[in-house]
Amino acid sequence: MSQKKAPKMMRGLKGLLTMACLGGASLAPHALFGQQAKAEWTTSSVDQFRDAWYQGPSKITPATAKNLHLLWKTKLTIKTMGMQSFREPLEVVGVATPAGTKDLTVVVGASNEVFALDSADGKVVWQAKLPWASATPQQPGEGRGFICTNAQSATPVISDAPGRKVYVLSSDGYIHTLELTDGAEKDAPVQILSQPYGKPYGLNLVNGVIYTITGQGCGGVPNALYAFDLKTRKVTQSQPPQAGLWGVAGPTIDHDGTIFFESGDGPYDAAAGKLSTSIEAFTYADGTLKLKDYYTPPNYDWLTRRDLDMNATGVVFPWKGREIYIGSGKEGRFFIVDTKNMGGTDHQTPLYRSPLISNTNMNFQTEGTWGSMATWLDKSGTRWLLAPIGGKVGVKFPVTYGETPNGGIVALKVVDKGGHPEVEPAWLSHDMLTAEPPVIVNGVAIVLAGGEYTLQSNDVEGGLFSAEQRIKNSGKAKLYALDALTGKELYASPDADIPSFLHQAGPSVAGDKVYFGTFDGTIYCYGLK
User: In 98-245, where do the E strands start and end?
Assistant: 100-108, 113-118, 124-129, 143-144, 148-149, 157-158, 165-169, 174-179, 190-191, 204-206, 209-213, 225-229, 235-237
- Write the pLDDT tens digit of every residue in 23-44: 333 444 544 445 678 999 999 9
Q: Which residues contact 454 (CB under 8 A, 6 or more apart)?
A: 365, 366, 390, 434, 470
Closest alpha carbon to 370 in 512, 525, 491, 249 = 249
C-alpha 431/C-alpha 253 separation (Å) is 32
pLDDT of residue 465: 75
pLDDT of residue 34: 53
**What's the whole-number average pLDDT of the chain?**
91
The answer to whether 44 touches 51, Cβ cutoff 8 Å, is no
Q: Which residues contact 524 (CB under 8 A, 6 or more apart)?
A: 70, 72, 73, 479, 497, 498, 515, 516, 517, 518
pLDDT of residue 360: 87
C-alpha 167/C-alpha 189 separation (Å) is 10
Four-point Cα dihedral 246, 33, 435, 74, nearest 10: -100
Which one-letter amino acid corresponds to residue 348?
A: Q
Strand, helix or coil at 478? Answer: strand
Write down the pTM of the prediction: 0.92
C-alpha 412/C-alpha 385 separation (Å) is 5
pLDDT above 90 covers what percent of the chain? 78
Q: Which residues contact 126 (CB under 8 A, 6 or more apart)?
A: 97, 98, 115, 116, 182, 183
Relative to beta strand 209-213, strand 368-369 is: unpaired
Cα torsion 42, 44, 47, 51: sign:
positive
The ranges of the chain with pLDDT < 70 are 1-35, 144-145
The answer to whether 476 touches 492, Cβ cutoff 8 Å, is no
